[in-house]
Structure 1
Amino acid sequence: MNQERINSVLLGITPIVLFIALWQSLISFGFAPTSLLPPPGAVFGKLAKDFFNGDFLHDIAATLIRLFAGFGIAVVVGVFIGLAAAVSPAVNAVVKPLVRVLAPIPKIALYPALLLILGFDHASKITLVTADALFPILLSTYYGASMVEQKLIWSAMAAGTPRWQILFKVVLPAAMPSILTGCRIGLVISCIVVFLAEMITSTDGLGHMLVQAARTFQTVDMFVPLIMISMLGLILNSLLHWLRSYLLRGFPEV
C-alpha cells in the first residue's frame, strides 16, 4: 500500500475516531447519562458478542435480503428505463412527466398501501426500497446517456455497427460513470429505507431489533442495530467504490 493510499485511509478513519471520542466525552464529562446514552465500549462489546448469536445473524440476513433485492431491482429497472428514455424520444415523452410527478413523492407515504397490497413480509419492504432507490439511478442513467458525445455514435455508425449494438458498446460504457454514481446514491437510500420499513412493521431485521429494544428501554441494544446498519452501509459503499474504480480504470477521472 503506497503512502497516498495510507493517507487516504487515515483521512477517512479520522472523522469516525473523532465521533467516537466525542461520544465518549459526552458521557465522561456528565453531559449525558449512561442510561440514555451508553458508552461506545459497551455498545461495541455487545455488538461483538451478538455476532455469536443466531437470532442477530438472522436479523442481519433479513435486512440484507431486502436491501439487495430492492436495490438490485432498482438498478436493472432504472438503467433500462434511463437508457430507453435517452435514446428514444417516444419513451422519453412518456417517462419524463411520470418522473416529474412521482420522484418528489416521499415513498414512505406509500408504505401503508404497500402493506395492504403485498402484506407484512419481504415483498412490501423490497418494493419500498426499489421505489426509493429507482429514481436516482434512472435519472443518473438518463443524463449520463444523454451527454454521450454524438461523434462517438456517428463513428460507430460509420463503422457499420448495428444500432442496437451502439447502445451497449458506445452509449452504456460512456454513461457508466454517471450510472455508478447514481447507484452509490441509491445504495445509501436503500440502507435508510429498509431500516425505516423494518422499524414501522416487521418481525425481524435490524430495524425491528431497534424497536424491540426501545420498547424495553434497553439502550445498549438500541444502539447495536444502528451501528450495524452504519457498518453495512460503509462496507457496501466501499465495495461499490472499488467496483467503480475497477470498471472505470480507463477513465481519466478515476
Structure 2
Amino acid sequence: MMTTRTTNELLLGAAPIVLVLLLWQGLVSYGYAPATLLPPPGQVFQRMAQLLTSVTFQQDIAATLFRLFAGFAIAVVIGVAAGIAAAVSPPVNAVIRPIVRVLAPLPKVALYPAFLLLLGFGHESKIMLVAADALFPILLSTYYGATTVEQKLIWSALAAGTPPRDVLWKVVLPAAMPSILTGCRIGLVISCIVVFLAEMITSTDGLGHVLVTAARTFQAVDMFVPLITISLLGLILNGLLQGLRAYLLRGFPSV
C-alpha cells in the first residue's frame, strides 16, 4: 500500500516536468522559437552530461553547494534559536518582533552591495546573503510552531516532574518540529535561488557565473545547463530534506 502510494506520488510529481519538456521541444520543433536562442532539451542535456565530466564545472557546482549549505546552516541555527527564544521569553520577543517586521519584507538582495563592501567578493558575502534570505521563513515557522504547542503538554510534563528548563528541549522543541522543518524547506528553496543570483551578480565561479559567462559569449546551450543543474540540485536537496522530515516525524499522524 505504501509502495503504491509512493509510486503514484512520484508519477504525479514527474508529470509536470515531462509536460514542460514536451512543450519546450514543441516550441523548437515547430519553429515558434529559434534553436539559437532556445536550444532543444536533448541538446542541453547532452551538453550537461559533457560538462559534468569537466573538473572546472564540478568545481563550480562545489562552490555553489558550499555557499548554499553554509548560508542555509547559519539561517537554521539562528532562525531556530531566535524563534524558540522569542516564543518562550516575552523580553526577547519584544526585541525580535520589530526587527522581523522591518527586515522580513525587505528584499535582501538590496543588502548585497553592503555585504560586498564589508565582506569582500569571496564566499563570505554570498553566504551572508543566503543566510539573510533564508533566515526569516525559518524563524517565523519556528516561532509559530513553538507558540502553538498545546499548554496541556507543558503542564503534563511539569506535573510529571520534568524540570522547567528541560521542558523546552523535551516538549516544546519536539512539538514544534513539524513547523520548523516546513520553514527549513522554504528556506532551502530560497537558498538555491539566492546563491544563484548572487553568483550571477558578482563571482568568478559557481553556477551563476557559468550562466553569465555563457550569456556574454552568446552560448545559448551553455546558458541552460546551469539552470537545469541548479534545478536538479534543488530537487535532490528537497527530496533529502523531505526524507529527513519523514524520519524525524515518523511518530506524528501527518507523516
Q: Aligned residue for 1:198?
A: 199
Q: Aligned residue for 2:39?
A: 38
Q: Aligned residue for 1:133?
A: 134
Q: Aligned residue for 2:209?
A: 208
Residue 6 (1) aligns with residue 23 (2) = no
Q: Aligned residue for 2:172?
A: 171
Structure-2 separation of matches of 1:70 and 1:163: 33
What is the percentage of aligned positions where both structures have the same residue?
74
Structure-2 separation of matches of 1:20 and 1:125: 31
Q: Which runs of 5+ in 1 are unaligned?
A: none
Alignment: residue pair count: 254
Q: Aligned residue for 2:254?
A: 253
Q: Give the 3-state SS of the residue equivalent to 1:160 in structure 2.
A: coil
Letter in 2 for 1:36: L
Q: Give the 3-state SS of the residue equivalent to 1:46 in structure 2.
A: helix
Q: Residues 17-28 of structure 1: matches in 2 within 5 Å?
A: 17-28=18-29
Q: Give the 3-state SS of the residue equivalent to 2:244 in structure 1.
A: helix
Shift of 1:51: 1.1
Q: Aligned residue for 1:79?
A: 80
Q: CA RMSD in A?
A: 0.7
Structure-2 separation of matches of 1:211 and 1:46: 17
Letter in 1 for 2:108: K
Q: Which runs of 5+ in 2 are unaligned?
A: none
Q: Residues 32-71 of structure 1: matches in 2 within 5 Å?
A: 32-71=33-72
Structure-1 separation of matches of 2:48 and 2:97: 45
Structure-2 separation of matches of 1:155 and 1:92: 25
Q: Aligned residue for 2:231?
A: 230
Structure-2 separation of matches of 1:181 and 1:59: 29
Q: Aligned residue for 1:15?
A: 16
In the TM superposition, what whole-angstrom CA distance separates every residue of 1:161-181 from its partner, at most 9, and x where no partner exists? 111210010000000000000
Structure-2 separation of matches of 1:46 and 1:114: 35
Q: Residues 146-185 of structure 1: matches in 2 within 5 Å?
A: 146-185=147-186
Q: Aligned residue for 1:93?
A: 94
In the TM superposition, what whole-angstrom CA distance separates every residue of 1:60-110 from its partner, at most 9, and x where no partner exists? 000000000000010000000000000001100111011001101100000
Structure-2 separation of matches of 1:159 and 1:6: 44
Structure-1 separation of matches of 2:21 and 2:164: 55
Q: TM-score, normalised by structure 2?
A: 0.99
In the TM superposition, what whole-angstrom CA distance separates every residue of 1:160-218 from its partner, at most 9, and x where no partner exists? 11112100100000000000000000000000000000000000000000000000000
Shift of 1:2: 2.1
Letter in 2 for 1:84: A
